[in-house]
Structure 1
Amino acid sequence: MNYNATLDFLYSQLPMYQREGDRAYKADIGNIVELCDYLGHPERGLQFIHVGGTNGKGSVSHMLTSICMEAGLKTGTYTSPHYLDFRERIKVDGQYISEQEVVDFVQLVSPIIPSVRPSFFELTVAMAFWHFKQTGVDIAVIEVGLGGRLDSTNIIEPLVSVITNIGLDHQQFLGNTHTAIAREKAGIIKRGVPVVIGETQALTSSVFIEQAASQLADIHFADQLYSAQFSDQNAIILRDGANEFNIDAPIYAEYQLKNISTAYGAFKVLQDQLGLTITHFTKGLENIAENSPMIGRFQVVQREPLTVFDSAHNAEGVGILFQQILKLPYRKLHIIYSCVHDKDIESIIQLLPKEAHFYLTELSIPRKKPLEELTTVFQNNALAFTTHESPKAAVQQALEQANPTDCIVAMGSIFLIAELL
């Protein structure tokens, strides 16, 4: 089986959350345990950083990857989903797993696939552990897929657990309240393993404090200890008590400032264990575009008109995105929007700028929100919109309608951004 045939098998024969949603989600870790047992438990003996949370966990994972790389550590990274290339999910020192290694892994585990019946996600997590063991990484940064307690990544014993924040997303799996979701995400807190919480939130802090206490784990709230802001020259100023560090990094989104503080909290915990220095931290952020690019996070793809692609897809993420967008000096705002069918669009639509013109389109995945449903919601909320047959057609129309001083934003789904890149 060649690489394309292998990908076709992964995409079409295994339950895949991006394609099928609820049907592909498995709320237990039994399958990943069976897979890793078959592989000789490649995850054992490796050093890990485990990163969860509702928003920002991917960005923090990329930041920590780049920081570790600057320290000369051979660094594995597992993130999901991918945008353009399946192999984005599994990297060592920024290099994708090779096509041949993907083929080799699937052939290796093929004898047990019929009996275990793993999901697409479970198989890719096992592939990551196997690849990191094969390549002999010094440290691996692992992003949680969904939730935490029952996520396939949660069989690792990390050096530090990181939880960025809690928002309302994937409620059908994790619960309908911030507290319920926090309990699921707190499941990555391990016995005796320090945990860094990115944001102190009234509804969730006690959940993390109680879970950390029950696991005898030191807990650090990054936003209570550190802060980051942009200077007048658009550099980043990071403050740690009386210490102040200036970082000239290619990071432009205000929402990334909280993620920087969170990454710094993890850095502080790991400093002695991994031999990290503040230079490694600052260089890690400054060189992140080369080391571990953050695709689809306030990604500026054009300057005139200013065109931004962002993967914001839940109420918290959308609200934070437009806090910054609305501060920009534009003449008119054009928004390309689409989402998956299980997204709580009613809460999101209240956060969208009413004066914008919307270009509605439909994703090319089975989980798409049908265009007719989108138009009904936008009509009911008296928003100005046009409809377009594809995301690329929507962007093209926005570019034709905009003048150089306008602003174009594409948002609403990771899968929308993937189709545009």
Structure 2
Amino acid sequence: MNYQDSLKILEKLQGEASPFLSLEKVKKLLEALGNPHKKFNVIHVAGTNGKGSVVSKTARALRVSGYKVGSFISPHIECIRERVRVNDEYISEEDFARYFSFIHGRALQGKVAVSFFEMLFTLASVAFSDKQVKFACVEVGLGGRLDATNLVDPMLCIITNVSLDHQRILGNTVEEIAREKAGIIKEKVPVIAGSNLPKSIIAQVAKEKKSPLKIINVDNLEFTEANSILAIDALDFIAKKHPISADSYLAARTFSLPCRFEVLVGESLPEGSKVKALILDGAHNYDGLASLIFSAKKHFPEEKLYFLGNFSKLKERPEMLDLLKPHFEHFFILDYPHPRLMPAKETLEYFPQNKSSLVSASEEELLKVLLTEDLEGGVLISCGSFFFQSWIRNSLEKTGRSANASKAY
């Protein structure tokens, strides 16, 4: 089986996704593979927002200290191999296909039908075991208690924050969702949590599990800063048993992932662009969008803001859209073809006709927006989903520009 064959099978699995979570099937598969997920030190990270950033910051920092480190994150922006990295590098197509073929064979042999995410987590576990990583920083996919990643035996658990998201699966209140995320807490395993969550629930579960809990005050901070603080505190914990260099702390503070308040300016924008900056961000729930607006206004206090994007059908649409209305001069609703996005025309109906317009997903239309005279000196913010951020980055590449020239904030 080659890499493309693996992708075809994964694509089929993704189309068969079920909202009902269970650990039994993936546990059986991992056991058949020799429990590869138990062969390295794990930092396990849950939360509504920021968990991928905390994972990546911590992994980069540990790498700077000279350790071999695996990281497992989701979703991917450009390539599925982004989800499984060793020492900041995607695993190769050859390794991906080799691991996938091995796992798929065992699954067929044992008649175990796992999901898209469960297969990828299993692949990451096999990869990290095979590559003999010292640490693996692992992001929860959904919730925590019944997430496939919850089969790990972590050395440290981190819960970034809790807000409303995926209510159909995790619960209708912040308290219910917090209980699901607190499900990653293991017996006597230390827990670090941000302060933007129901503290009493996290504390109760930690007490029941006899797990030391440290809640870090990140109130009124940008998500990027809060994520850095959590990663740095994780390093402090790890340093009790494993040497951590001073440079690692700098790495935890400065490293950032694409499409997490990624600011494109100057040479990263097409020639003739009227906007001062283009911000790419995967914010897709209420708290994520509120934090994005807060950060944008902090770094661009005088500039007018313009929206580019769309939303998933499953989100709490009216509340989020009402949040956006007072802050943006105009809404460019992206008609990007994806089964989990709202129809663009439906999204358009939520906004005043004189402040909104439909934009087709073509390089020509994107360039037209960036060159619009009325946006002179303003900031265009692409958000609402990760699904179309890759398309925007690729479209910029086709103009001869590179998103790699983004500016860190």
TM-score category of the 2 structures, normalised to the smaller one: 0.7 to 0.9
Q: Which residue matches 1:72? A: 66
Residue 270 (structure 1) aligned to one of 238, 254, 264: 238
Distance in 1 between residues matched to 2:21 and 2:337, nearest whole Å: 27
Distance in 2 between residues matched to 1:139 and 1:94, nearest whole Å: 13
Q: Which residue matches 1:297? A: 260
Distance in 2 between residues matched to 1:273 and 1:393, nearest whole Å: 54
SS in 1 for 2:70: strand
Q: How many residues matched?
A: 380
**Would the aligned equivalents of 1:198 and 1:261 in 2 still touch at CA under 8 Å?**
no
Structure 2 residue runs without a partner (length 5+): 267-274, 394-409
Distance 1:392 1:205, change over 3 A: farther
Distance 1:260 1:391, change over 3 A: farther
Within a 5 Å distance, the mapping from 1:103-252 to structure 2 comes to 103-114=97-108, 115-201=111-197, 204-223=198-217
Distance in 1 between residues matched to 2:370 and 2:126, nearest whole Å: 44
TM-score (norm 1): 0.85
Please list the CA deviations of residues 156-192 of structure 1 after superposition, one character each: whole Å capped at 9, or x if unmatched. Answer: 0111000000010000010010100000000000001
Residue 43 (structure 1) aligned to one of 15, 37, 45: 37
* Residue 391 of structure 2 corresponds to residue 397 of structure 1: no
Residue 396 of structure 1 deviates from its aligned partner by: 2.1
Distance in 2 between residues matched to 1:384 and 1:283, nearest whole Å: 41
**Would the aligned equivalents of 1:43 and 1:129 in 2 still touch at CA under 8 Å?**
yes
* Residue 284 of structure 2 corresponds to residue 313 of structure 1: yes
SS in 2 for 1:146: coil
Residue 414 (structure 1) aligned to one of 386, 389, 398: 386
Residue 277 of structure 1 deviates from its aligned partner by: 4.1
Distance in 2 between residues matched to 1:55 and 1:393, nearest whole Å: 32
SS in 2 for 1:388: strand
**Would the aligned equivalents of 1:186 and 1:208 in 2 still touch at CA under 8 Å?**
yes
Residue 325 of structure 1 deviates from its aligned partner by: 1.8
Residue type of the partner of 2:312?
A: V
Distance in 1 between residues matched to 2:360 and 2:192, nearest whole Å: 44
Residue 329 of structure 1 deviates from its aligned partner by: 4.3
Q: Which residue matches 1:335? A: 307
**Would the aligned equivalents of 2:231 and 2:252 in 1 still touch at CA under 8 Å?**
no
Q: Which residue matches 1:232? A: none
Within a 5 Å distance, the mapping from 1:375-390 to structure 2 comes to 375-379=348-352, 384-390=355-361
Residue 275 of structure 1 deviates from its aligned partner by: 1.7
Residue type of the partner of 2:228?
A: I
Distance 1:266 1:4, change over 3 A: same
Residue 87 of structure 1 deviates from its aligned partner by: 0.4
Q: Which residue matches 1:356? A: 329
Residue 389 of structure 1 deviates from its aligned partner by: 1.8
Residue 383 of structure 1 deviates from its aligned partner by: 6.7
SS in 2 for 1:49: strand
SS in 1 for 2:324: coil
Residue 280 of structure 1 deviates from its aligned partner by: 2.2
Q: Identity of aligned pairs, percent?
A: 30
Distance 1:178 1:393, change over 3 A: farther
**Would the aligned equivalents of 2:335 and 2:360 in 1 still touch at CA under 8 Å?**
yes
Residue 394 of structure 1 deviates from its aligned partner by: 5.0
**Would the aligned equivalents of 1:3 and 1:102 in 2 still touch at CA under 8 Å?**
yes
Residue type of the partner of 1:155?
A: L
Q: Which residue matches 1:374? A: 347
* Residue 72 of structure 2 corresponds to residue 100 of structure 1: no
Which segment drifts farther, 174-183 or 264-273? 264-273
Distance in 2 between residues matched to 1:42 and 1:51, nearest whole Å: 19
Distance 1:200 1:372, change over 3 A: closer
Distance 1:5 1:195, change over 3 A: same
Q: Which residue matches 1:237? A: none
Distance in 2 between residues matched to 1:87 and 1:50, nearest whole Å: 20
Please list the CA deviations of residues 343-397 of structure 1 after superposition, one character each: whole Å capped at 9, or x if unmatched. Answer: 1111111211434211112332211211221122224xx6711102217555323
Q: Which residue matches 2:406? A: none
SS in 2 for 1:91: strand
Residue 298 of structure 1 deviates from its aligned partner by: 0.9
SS in 1 for 2:105: helix
**Would the aligned equivalents of 1:305 and 1:405 in 2 still touch at CA under 8 Å?**
yes
Residue 228 of structure 1 deviates from its aligned partner by: 11
SS in 1 for 2:241: helix
Residue type of the partner of 1:387?
A: L
TM-score (norm 2): 0.88
* Residue 223 of structure 2 corresponds to residue 255 of structure 1: yes
Distance in 2 between residues matched to 1:195 and 1:257, nearest whole Å: 19
Distance 1:391 1:39, change over 3 A: farther
Which segment drifts farther, 395-404 or 345-354? 395-404
Distance in 2 between residues matched to 1:283 and 1:417, nearest whole Å: 25
Q: Which residue matches 2:402? A: none
Distance in 2 between residues matched to 1:131 and 1:145, nearest whole Å: 18
Distance in 2 between residues matched to 1:264 and 1:404, nearest whole Å: 39
Distance in 2 between residues matched to 1:415 and 1:187, nearest whole Å: 28
Residue 333 of structure 1 deviates from its aligned partner by: 2.4
* Residue 24 of structure 2 corresponds to residue 52 of structure 1: no
Residue 210 of structure 1 deviates from its aligned partner by: 0.5
Q: Which residue matches 2:27? A: 33
Structure 1 residue runs without a partner (length 5+): 230-253
**Would the aligned equivalents of 1:200 and 1:221 in 2 still touch at CA under 8 Å?**
no
